[in-house]
Amino acid sequence: MALQVALVGDIHGNIVALDAVLKEVRRQRPDLIAITGDLVLNGPRPAEVVRRVRELEAAGAIVVQGNTDIAVADFDYSAAFPWLEEVPAGHRAAAEWAHEQLADDELDYLRRLPAERRVRDGGAMLLVCHASPGSQTAGLPVDLDPSVLTERVTRTDADVIGCGHTHVAAIHELGRRIICNAGSCGYSYDNDPGASWAVVTLDAEGSSAELFRTSYEIQEVSDELSLRGLPGDIYRAAIVRTGRFVR
């Protein structure tokens, strides 16, 4: 029997998008929901997202930690953003604001999340991670140099790698492996502002993956960000509204 796993990630404090996706996920009736990290930074309702994710986990979902969850929980910006020589003030302000919105037990929850989880069905294995096997920050974009891509994906024996981090939804195959980047539920960069997610079908006879896009009240979330008033919120609002990375 095949196992269906819904992949949802890069929610980034956008509870409106998450709830819209969950309605569609439930219609699919997957065997398991997996959350690929980056739960709270940037969006207007981090606490509500953490509470919803914890409800999902209590009902059987698996959840991994993203790099920005580290930034919010512990302000370890070098760990969260190792590619930046200097972390912008807007990043710090957003992380500090999200930290303040969360209760102590919610911050501890972010700290305790694992970097990876594995799901097996018969002879097939799915690795759920944030960026790539063994890393919360080294992603798997579709335009990555082939030699680098090969080096990153061969850090696991998994048949399917379920990830996020790039905010660009994509499925591609590398040899016998499927790389399923579910994109971003709440903060898309791939020119489609809808909430992105995926379903992986794990099967020893041949696994597969499919991408989905869910509409939600995008303008409502964009307006809420515009009114918040943190440094960079005008750009965050534009990203939510357009699905394009702007700075």
pLDDT reported for residue 122: 85
In three-state form (DSSP H/G/I as H, E/B as E, the rest C), the secondary structure along 50-67 is: HHHHHHHHHCCCEECCCH
Across 219-229, average pLDDT: 96
pLDDT reported for residue 3: 95
Sign of the dihedral through C-alpha 130, 133, 138, 139: negative
Residue 96 contacts by C-beta under 8 Å, 6 or more apart in sequence? 75
φ and ψ at 189, to 5 degrees? Answer: -115, 5
Say if CB 33 and CB 25 are below 8 A apart.
Answer: yes
Q: Give the model confidence (pLDDT) of 61-87 as tens digits.
A: 999 999 999 999 999 999 999 999 999
State the architecture of 3-242 in CATH terms: 4-Layer Sandwich (3.60)
What value does the mean pLDDT of the chain take? 96
Q: How far is CA 210 from CA 6, 170, 175, 176, in A?
A: 10, 9, 18, 17
Chain centroid, CA 187 distance in Å: 9
Across 218-238, average pLDDT: 97
Could you tell me the two tokens for 134?
Answer: 């063994």
Amino acid at 49: V
| Dihedral angle computed from the Cα positions of residues 184, 185, 191 and 194, in that order, rounded to the nearest 10 degrees | 170
Q: Give the model confidence (pLDDT) of 96-139 as tens digits.
A: 999 999 999 999 999 999 999 999 998 899 999 999 999 999 99
> How far is it, in rounded angstroms, from Cα 95 to Cα 79?
13
- Rounded to the nearest 10 degrees, the angle between the axes of helix 89-101 and helix 46-58 is 60
pLDDT reported for residue 165: 98
| Residue 212, pLDDT above cutoff 90 | yes
pLDDT reported for residue 50: 98
Could you tell me the two tokens for 54?
Answer: 């914890």
pLDDT reported for residue 17: 98
Residue with the two structure tokens 């379920």: 162
Across 177-181, average pLDDT: 96
Q: Which residue has the higher pLDDT, 96 or 176?
A: 96
| Residue 247, pLDDT above cutoff 80 | no
Residue with the two structure tokens 């709270």: 40
Neighbour-count burial of 228, counting CB atoms closer than 10 A to its CB (0-12 exposed, 13-18 middle, 19+ buried): middle
pTM: 0.96
Query: How many C-beta atoms surround the C-beta of residue 174 within 10 A?
Result: 15
The domain ranges of the chain are: 3-242
Across 144-172, average pLDDT: 95
pLDDT class for 45, splitting at 50, 70, 90? very high
| Residue 1, pLDDT above cutoff 90 | no
Helix (H, G, I), strand (E, B) or coil at 180: strand
